[in-house]
Structure 1
Amino acid sequence: MSTVALNPLRIASDIWRHRYLLGQLIKRDVLLRYRGAMFGVLWIFLSPLLMLAIFAFIFGEVFQTRWPQQNSGLPFWLLLYSGLITFNIFAETASRAPTSVRGHPSFVKKIIFPVNILPVVPLGAALVHGAFNFLILVAALAWVGGLHGQIVLFPLLLLPVLLLALGLSWFIAAWGVFVKDMTQIVPVFIQMLMFLSPVFYPVSAVPQMLRPLYQVNPLAIVIEASRAAVTGQAIGWTAWILAFGFCLGAAVLGYAFFQHSKEEFADAL
C-alpha cells in the first residue's frame, strides 16, 4: 500500500487540487436532484423548514414532550432538530456512497479522471443541505429567544463526523462496485445507528451500564458537543479531540482502501 494513501496532508492536497471539478460535480448532483420539481432548488430550504414545523407541532403541541433531564429552556423539538442536522449529514453521505462510483461507469473508464473524488460528492451535497438546516436552526433559536454566541462553534464541531462520513464513503463506494447489496445493507445500518446514537435523547438518559458504548461512539460525542453549542452549555473538548483523531484515522484508512481497490473498478463495471 502506498504511503501517500496514508498521509492525511497528501489526501487533502489531492482533493484540493481537483476542487473545481469536485465543486461542479456537487453542483450538478444537487441540481439534478431537484430537476423537474415545481419549486426546484427551493426544496433545499422548504424541506427542512417543513420538517421543523412538523417537529414543533407534534412534539411541542401534541405530545408536549420534554427533553430527558433537560437543563436548558429550549423546546424538545429544537434539541431534536440540532441532533438530526449532525446525523443527517453522516446518513446522507453514507447512504448514497454505494452508488457514487458504480453509478458513473463512464468516469471510471476514463484513465485521466480522478475517481477518488466521486465518493466526496455525496458529502458535498449533504453539506449543502446541512448548511440550510443550520440556518433554519439559527433562525428558530433566535425566534424562541435561545440563541447563544456559542452556536458559531457548531460547524467546527462537525469536523469529526465529516471525516468519518468521508472515510466510510470511500470504503462503501469501493465495496459498492463489487457488491450491489450494499445499497440495501447501508440504509438498514444507518437506521439502526440513528436509534443507537443520542439523536432523540441525551447520553445522560442512557442506563449507566451502556454509557461507555456511547462515550466511544464518535457520532454520539459530536452530537452531544454540537447540542451543547446550541444550548450554551460546556463542550466536552477532550472527548471531541479523541473523536477527531479516531475519525481522521478512519478517513485515511477509507481512502487507502479505495486507492487499493480502484484498479479493479473498470473490470467490475
Structure 2
Amino acid sequence: MNAATLNPLRIVSDIWRHRYLLGQLIKRDVLLRYRGAMFGVVWIFLSPLLMLAIFAFIFGHIFQARWPQQSGDLPFWLLLYSGLIIFNIFGETVSRAPAAVRGYPSFVKKIIFPLHILPVVPLGAALVHGAFNFLIFVTALTWAGGLHAQILLFPLLLLPVLLLALGLSWFVAAWGVFIKDMTQIVPLFVQMMLFLSPVFYPMSAVPEVLRPVYQFNPLGIVIETARAVVTGQPISWGAWGMALSFCLGAAVLGYAFFQHSREEFADAL
C-alpha cells in the first residue's frame, strides 16, 4: 500500500476515469432487477409511491402519529420518509456489497479490469432508486404545503452517507470474496443500524444517557440535518462537517483495504 492509495483526489480521479464502464454496469444492474416484471422499470417509480401511500395511511390515518415536539403541520409520515430515503441508499449499497465482486468471477480473472469499481455499482443503483424516492417526496411535500427552498440542499447533505456507504462497500466486498457468510452477516448489521439510527424517531426522543453514543453515528447526524432542511429549521453545519470528515476517512480506508486485498481475489474464487 502506498501513499497514493490514501489520496482522496486520486481515488475520485480513478473512478472518474472509468465512468463510462461504471455507468454501463449500473444501467445493467438496474435493468436486470426489473427484467421479466410486468411493469418493468416502471417499478422504480411505483415502489416508492406505494410505500409513501402506505405510510400516509398507516401513520396518518390509523395511528394518527405526530413527531415528538414537532412544530408546524408537516405530517409525521413525511418526516419518517425523509429519513428512510437516506437510510435506504446506505442499506441497499452495503447489503449488496458482499456479492459485488464474488458475483463477477470472470471479471476478477481479467487482469486489466478495474475491480475497484464493482463495489461502486450497488451505490449507483441505490442512487437511481433514491432519486425517484426524492422526486416523489418533493411532490408529497408540495401537496402537504411544506416545501421550503432549503430542500435544494437535501442532495448535498447526503454526501457523508454516500462516502460511508462506499467505504463499507469496498471493505465488505473484499471480505465477501473470502467469507461467504458476509452475505448473511451484513444484512443483519444493516437492519440493526436501521433501528439504532433516528429513522423512526428523532434524536430528541433518545434517553439522555444514550444520546452521546447516537451523536457518533454519522447516519443519525445526516438524517437529523436533512430533517432540519425539510422542516425549514437551522442546519447544524458543524455536526454535518464532522460526519463528512469521518465518512471521508472511512471511504479512503475502505478503498485502501480493497486494493490491498485484490491480489488474492483470483485465488479465493
Common fold: TM-score over 0.5: yes
**Mapped pair 1:249 → 2:226:** no
**Mapped pair 1:43 → 2:40:** no
Q: What is aligned with 2:22?
A: 22
Q: What is aligned with 1:169?
A: 169
Give CA-to-partner distance per residue, 1:37-56, whole Å, 9 cap, x none.
00000000000000000000
Secondary structure class of the residue paired with 1:209: coil
Checking the alignment, whether the CA contact within 8 Å between 1:90 and 1:165 is kept in structure 2 is yes
Secondary structure class of the residue paired with 1:53: helix
Using the aligned pairs only, state the percent identity. Answer: 82
Counterparts of 2:168 and 2:73 in 1: how far apart (Å)? Answer: 36
Counterparts of 1:181 and 1:125 in 2: how far apart (Å)? Answer: 23
Counterparts of 1:49 and 1:72 in 2: how far apart (Å)? Answer: 24
Counterparts of 1:245 and 1:221 in 2: how far apart (Å)? Answer: 12
Q: CA deviation at 1:107?
A: 0.5
Amino acid of the structure 2 residue aligned with 1:245:
S
Q: What is aligned with 1:226?
A: 226
Q: What is aligned with 2:74?
A: 74
TM-score (norm: length of structure 1) = 0.99
Q: What is aligned with 1:58?
A: 58
Checking the alignment, whether the CA contact within 8 Å between 1:69 and 1:205 is kept in structure 2 is no
TM-score (norm: length of structure 2) = 0.99
Q: What is aligned with 1:201?
A: 201
Secondary structure class of the residue paired with 2:36: coil
Once the two structures are superposed, the pairs formed by residues 124-143 of structure 1 within 5 Å of their partners are 124-143=124-143
Please list every run of at least 4 consecutive aligned residues from structure 1 whose deviation after the TM superposition is greater than 4 angstroms.
none
Q: What is aligned with 2:180?
A: 180
Counterparts of 2:18 and 2:108 in 1: how far apart (Å)? Answer: 16
Give CA-to-partner distance per residue, 1:78-99, whole Å, 9 cap, x none.
0000000000000000000000
Q: What is aligned with 1:155?
A: 155
Secondary structure class of the residue paired with 1:259: helix
Q: CA deviation at 1:72?
A: 2.9
Please list every run of 5 or more consecutive structure 2 residues that lacks an aligned counterpart in the other structure: none
Give CA-to-partner distance per residue, 1:79-129, whole Å, 9 cap, x none.
000000000000000000000000000011001100000000000000000
State how many pairs are aligned: 269
Amino acid of the structure 2 residue aligned with 1:252:
V
Give CA-to-partner distance per residue, 1:214-258, whole Å, 9 cap, x none.
111100000001111111111110000000000000000000000
Once the two structures are superposed, the pairs formed by residues 249-268 of structure 1 within 5 Å of their partners are 249-268=249-268
Counterparts of 1:114 and 1:72 in 2: how far apart (Å)? Answer: 50
